[in-house]
Chains A and B, each alone.
Chain A
Amino acid sequence: MKTTKLKKQVVLKGGTILDPINETLKKGDVLIENGRMKSIGKVTPSKSADVIDCSGLIVTHGFCDIHVHFREPGREDKETLDSGSMAALAGGFTRVCVMPNTDPPLDSPESIRYTIDRGEECPIHIHPIGAITKSQDGKELTEMGAMLSEGAVAFSDDGLPVTDTGMMRNALEYSTMFDVPIINHAEDLCLKKDGVMHEGRISTQLGLPASPGITESNMVHRDLELTELTGARLHVPHVSSAKSTDYIRQMKKSNNKITAEVTPHHLFFTDDDLITYNTDLKVAPPIRTQADQKALIKGVKDGTFDCIATDHAPHTIEEKEGTFDLAPFGMIGLESCFGAVNRALVKENKLNIIRLIQMLAVNPRRIMGFETDLFTNGNSAELTIFDPNKKWTFKKSDIYSRSHNSPFIGEALIGRIRATIVKGHITVLV
């Protein structure tokens, strides 16, 4: 992977331009001048222009992941904003929202400012999500107003649920003054107990403590009801169960303030894959059954889910090499995202590729209130170039994160990122 500054004039030549806003897919060139979008269509490059051959490739909006953990500050051994940015670029992502469960957590205007300042030094756009409660302990609300002024884009105690229903109501009610999304990691901890995977045939066979799907859907249902009560904006992260999907689908019919995301790993794996006790598949909420997976895919197709988010969660080798009960929850996912969802959704379930790009680029930006029409002339270029049909095996050497906890290693993926353009630079993958 190599990152270079964009020349004064750059022409992306002979590719297929996928416009997810106007829902078109047609051959053409893209002219970028001084890092900004200049024109799209037939471009005759000047002599000094840098011409990049994009034949056989798709050129589209840069992807945006609204759910990543970059571990800075506190666990820079797992990931930093810089190393996380490299992982994002490798995955075609030009923009991410980082979750606040760092050490200390992003629960104050000062910590939000720190992340904004550090993010400016990074090669991608980084937006902090602030904590809902101070120290993420579910007891006192954070200074949401001041944190938004410093650049927070949403609020979440992700990693942990807001267990207290009264506190969740307060958070949603308070957030209505600012009209920002509240993101709650839905798992009923009283029901989850020491569960480390989905409760089913496989957990019974493995003898592992497990939690059923309603551990999630119970709380999702509560949050949906509270959203209706308060009129707040709710974004439901990493939905894993069929029942949660049904509740969200139902409630979205009458409430346009609800959005939801699904992860590549919940779409790609099932609990059968845990049969070898692979700790890289230990994640919260857990990978569930084939029936749940089918329901998630259906939810993608009928629009119940607005976007794909990776929940990129780096952990050290030492932690993941331990026994299954002690290994932390989470897996990385930025680098493998496109090849995994393109295979699972477009190739195996006939989702239109334009829909997939809307879920990776347009809808996440819309949820967070970012500019969505990236092809508008004059906008700073944020583009992703990929080969939609490339079959490849994901390897450890494809990882740019500081951590390697990926269950996708060794998996056959379809579709590969070739280049990512953002902040006046182009990153080319070999």
Chain B
Amino acid sequence: MLQQKHLLGLEGYPAEDIQTIIDTAFTFREVLDRPIKKVPSLQGKTIVNLFFENSTRTRISFELAQKRLSADTVNFSASTSSLKKGETFKDTAQNIEAMKIDAVVMRHPTPGAPLHLTQHINSIVINAGDGTHEHPTQAILDMTSLHEKFGYLKGLKVGIIGDISHSRVALSNIHGLKTMGAEITLCGPSTLIPPFAEDLGVSVNYNVDEVIEWADALNVLRIQRERMEGGLLPSVREYRNLFGITTERLSMHKKEIVIMHPGPMNRGVEIDSLVADSDQAIILDQVLNGVASRMAILYLLLGGKQEQENS
């Protein structure tokens, strides 16, 4: 039902397929509101969650999505250091596939690792985040949430605030939103914006107030403390002053603006608690849409249609 066998990233991903996933996600949202939140769509399918990097919310979200679709799931966590020492990535992948599975959901610290995986195994590969490259399912759930809130994506003005250079969420959002016709402005310290960002077809503005004035929605990214040690940022205080999404800052703008955050949040750093908990924040809707979007992706990629006929 989707044109590509895998979901590796949103760069070049067809608009009609993104729309199909979003539409399907909305139908699964209804399932999640039922007393019995389970459908038999992927009964008999086996999915391995291959996490080479720590993750709580993405892994739980995927696992819930799989269980709600009645798929069999196996979780595998490995620190990359043990891989460096011994077994190669190829061996790990081929061993798991030899156990007869249908799909792999993988998170890996290296950009390109999911593409690499498709060269060694035949199963469907879904990228759950590859280093600083892409995190397509996060971008799809973000777009699902925006679509739910606004009813459209074309022409929507989205500001992405924070550490863009180290963010797979930003890159997937840029590709996905661009494809769907939205406008994007990146905003953050110049040391955390990739030097060639504008080549991706987005605007860059270092003045967060101007971005707030312009945008319909803000996607606020996490700022990691390691960035201070790397010499990219002077201090949390400086960041908050220049880019923090604070109540004071928002109150200066006489407009409604939707606030998103992919989590985990550093309350008091990139976003104020009061903002995160306010009505304009759709952060928890994003989490719920995460399960629904991942159900849609799994269902569409794993041939859910055929299973439905059987059930």
Interfacial residues, chain A to chain B (CB-CB below 8 A): 199-201, 203-209, 212, 276-277, 318, 321-326
Contact = CB atoms under 8 A, between A and B. Distances in A.
A196 to B, nearest CB: 9
B110 A199 contact: no
B222 interface: no
B89 A322 contact: yes
A204 B201 CA distance: 12
B40 interface: no
Interface of B: 11, 84, 88-90, 108-113, 115-116, 130-134, 168, 171, 194-197, 199-200
Contacts of A323: 89, 108, 110, 112-113, 116
Given A277-B116, A325-B110, 6 more contacts: A206-B112, A207-B111, A207-B168, A212-B195, A318-B88, A323-B110
B11 A205 contact: yes
A277 B111 contact: yes
Contact of A277 (B88, B112, B171, B196): B112
A322 B228 CA distance: 30
B130 to A, nearest CB: 7
Most buried by A among B112, B130, B134, B194: B112
The 4 nearest A-B residue pairs measured at CB: A207-B133, A277-B112, A323-B110, A207-B111
Given A201-B199, A204-B199, A206-B133, A322 B88 contact: yes
A249 B113 CA distance: 41
B131 to A, nearest CB: 6
14 contacts: A199-B195, A199-B196, A204-B196, A204-B199, A204-B200, A205-B200, A206-B111, A207-B131, A207-B168, A208-B112, A208-B132, A276-B115, A323-B89, A325-B131
A204 B186 CA distance: 14
Given A321-B88, A321-B90, A323-B89, A204 B113 contact: no
A324 B196 contact: no
B196 A201 contact: yes
Given A204-B194, A204-B199, A207-B130, A324 B88 contact: no
B115 A277 contact: yes
A71 B230 CA distance: 35
Contact of B111 (A200, A318, A322, A324): A324
A201 B194 CA distance: 9
B108 A207 contact: no
Contacts of B194: 204
B111 A208 contact: yes
B196 A200 contact: yes
B66 to A, nearest CB: 26
Most buried by A among B132, B196, B200: B196
